[in-house]
Amino acid sequence: MSENSYNTIVVGGGIAGLTSAAYLSRAGQKVLLIEKNKEFGGLVNSFTHDGFHFEAGVRALEDAGIIFPMLKDLKIQLEVFKSPVSVGVDNEIIDIESINDLLKYRELLIKLFPESESEINDLIKIIQKIMKHMNVLYGIENPVFKDLKRDKSFIFKKLIPWLPKFIFTVGKINRMNMPVEDYLKTIIKNPSLRDIIAQHFFKKTPAFFALSYFSLYLDYFYPKGGVGKLSEALKNKILECGGKLLSETKIIEVKADKCLVRDQSNIIYKYDNLVWAADLKTLYRIIDTQGIATKIKAKFEETKIKMLQNRGGDSVFSLFLEVDEPLESFGKVANGHFFYTPSKTGLGETHRQVLNNLLINFEKVTKEQILTWLDKFTKLNTFEISIPGLKDPELVPSGKTGIIISLLAEYDLFKEIQKAGWLNEFVSELENRILNVISDSVYPMLKDKIITHFSFTPLSIENRVGSSEGAIVGWSFEKSMPVVNKIQISDRSVLTPIPSIYQAGQWAYSPAGVPMSILTGKLAANKILKK
């Protein structure tokens, strides 16, 4: 095999690509992992600024029966803390540390919406049922990470008794596939209450996925030193197993018939198998299919149309704050991972219909109209607030606090404003509004103590990880899904129409997040190793 020729090339050094490369190199393959950025990890990444530690992507991790089994299987030691979540609306804040705290959530909702008590009780019963399903779904270590040939005890004591429950649960889940907004309408009349429950989910999130979040809150953990430590550990594993890592290298063409990829400097790399663990629309745009069999080409073109017609799901706007105030002041209010809604009114149509109208008529809309909309959008929204120092106190300078405040944001709005030439002004208006809303409500000590601040927009995400529409969990739920979205056939999600090319990560399966990205990374490796 010549120097630039590999058994497998993995493109995309996010968590999916890292997982694939780790397993393939552990199996003795000659592996090259190519990443366009200097750092690996993609959306599982941390950075330090002025001595403050921040997460660039996901704020904490959910095991989901996947991450810990993967670490165990790869013999990776990762020191972790539990990452308890708080939920707050208006002046009511609760900590969620055990399954019983679902009742605190019920009380919180009833306090805010006393007239809807019986509907809230119905909702809580549904969430309880979903939590039971989640216990089945994630109840055993994911078999994909077990050595089923050798671990007979796992097969007989765990896997076989679990399978019938799993099949039953999958049936239940599939029946709750309708968008959460529509599902909630069938049980809750008050639109504000519906918003408070669901407005921090992506548009049209499947109801099961959205309402399972209470289980996921209990599952969150945080690696000592930050979320990026997970990516770092996988990167080290690849090196330890003899895999090769290439950063600051962007693949701009795939020649399918010759099994070649070309980077931005026109360097060519040859593969037997390719795992594409990055944006899928990009893959379908840059594959040259000349010379491949007609039947495969036809299937490829059909899939390409489906992919390119679709779009990425919601993106996020994140404000990073370095604050001259000790961690304790914030710790008294809520945990270091906090979903907070300052007003119980709910976003209503602000985020959906009104924004759509603004975007459709963007040419005619004035700056003032957009800023008036922005006022409402920030006052009524739900924020994900992460304070890394409350999870691991070593992550901030003594006596100070680093905070990340984020909200779901529409890529198209930022894109239009950028085209109109006032993106920096808009970002600063948004930053100020977020600061005002949070200082006027949950953290009054915040505003006068900020040392410095900066933010990432959906456009920054698109630029950094090459994610279509700045999406943070893959495909939008608004259109028909161009990839597999049923857990019982997740095995097929990594296949593409071209036999030597596999796909992995948040674009390969929906709904996805870190655990599914890891799972597809492993599934792609399995397929290659089985060949």
Residues that bind ligand FAD (CB under 6 A): 11-17, 34-37, 42-44, 57-59, 62, 250-251, 277-279, 282, 316, 406, 465-467, 472-473, 505-506, 512-515, 517
Identify which of residues 11 and 434 has a Cβ nearer to ligand FAD in the complex.
Answer: 11
Identify which of residues 318 and 378 has a Cβ nearer to ligand FAD in the complex.
Answer: 318
Closest distance to ligand FAD from the beta carbon of 114 (Å): 31
Closest distance to ligand FAD from the beta carbon of 279 (Å): 6
Element (H, E) at 499: none
Residue 461 CA to residue 56 CA, distance in Å, equals 9
Identify which of residues 56 and 127 has a Cβ nearer to ligand FAD in the complex.
Answer: 56
Identify which of residues 275 and 347 has a Cβ nearer to ligand FAD in the complex.
Answer: 275
Identify which of residues 169 and 406 has a Cβ nearer to ligand FAD in the complex.
Answer: 406
Neighbours of 444 (CB within 10 A): 12
Residue 54 CA to residue 386 CA, distance in Å, equals 9
Give CA 178 to chain center in angstroms. 20
Identify which of residues 11 and 188 has a Cβ nearer to ligand FAD in the complex.
Answer: 11
Closest distance to ligand FAD from the beta carbon of 242 (Å): 21
What one-letter code names the amino acid at 514? V
Residue 384 CA to residue 409 CA, distance in Å, equals 12
Identify which of residues 37 and 418 has a Cβ nearer to ligand FAD in the complex.
Answer: 37
Closest distance to ligand FAD from the beta carbon of 83 (Å): 10
Closest distance to ligand FAD from the beta carbon of 64 (Å): 8
Question: Cβ neighbours of residue 194 under 8 Å, at least 6 residues apart?
Answer: 181, 184, 185, 188, 346
Closest distance to ligand FAD from the beta carbon of 48 (Å): 18
Burial class (CB in 10 A: 0-12, 13-18, 19+), 398: exposed
Identify which of residues 120 and 216 has a Cβ nearer to ligand FAD in the complex.
Answer: 216
What Å distances lie between residue 266 and 34, 130, 155, CA to CA? 14, 51, 49
Closest distance to ligand FAD from the beta carbon of 154 (Å): 25
Phi, psi of 459 (to 5 degrees): -70, -35
Strands 5-11 vs 31-34: parallel, antiparallel or unpaired: parallel
Closest distance to ligand FAD from the beta carbon of 457 (Å): 12
Closest distance to ligand FAD from the beta carbon of 472 (Å): 4
Question: Cβ neighbours of residue 107 under 8 Å, at least 6 residues apart?
Answer: none
Identify which of residues 188 and 278 has a Cβ nearer to ligand FAD in the complex.
Answer: 278
Phi, psi of 477 (to 5 degrees): -85, 0
Rg (CA), the chain: 23
Identify which of residues 25 and 282 has a Cβ nearer to ligand FAD in the complex.
Answer: 282
CA geometry: angle 260, 262, 268, nearest 5 deg: 65
Identify which of residues 192 and 341 has a Cβ nearer to ligand FAD in the complex.
Answer: 341
Identify which of residues 370 and 465 has a Cβ nearer to ligand FAD in the complex.
Answer: 465
Residue 144 CA to residue 65 CA, distance in Å, equals 10
CA geometry: angle 38, 286, 491, nearest 5 deg: 85
Residue 13 CA to residue 97 CA, distance in Å, equals 33
Question: Cβ neighbours of residue 452 under 8 Å, at least 6 residues apart?
Answer: 50, 321, 322
Strands (E), 31-167: 31-34, 46-49, 52-55, 61-62, 80-82, 85-89, 92-96
Identify which of residues 44 and 193 has a Cβ nearer to ligand FAD in the complex.
Answer: 44
Element (H, E) at 273: strand 268-276
What Å distances lie between residue 283 and 45, 102, 258, 279, CA to CA? 23, 43, 16, 7
Burial 28-66 (b: 16+ CB within 10 A, else e): ebbbbbbbbbebbbbbbbbeeeeebbbbbbbbbbbbbbb
Closest distance to ligand FAD from the beta carbon of 339 (Å): 10
Element (H, E) at 404: strand 401-409
Closest distance to ligand FAD from the beta carbon of 138 (Å): 12
Identify which of residues 20 and 378 has a Cβ nearer to ligand FAD in the complex.
Answer: 20
Decide: helix, strand or coil at residue 494.
helix
Closest distance to ligand FAD from the beta carbon of 78 (Å): 16
Closest distance to ligand FAD from the beta carbon of 118 (Å): 31
Closest distance to ligand FAD from the beta carbon of 309 (Å): 20
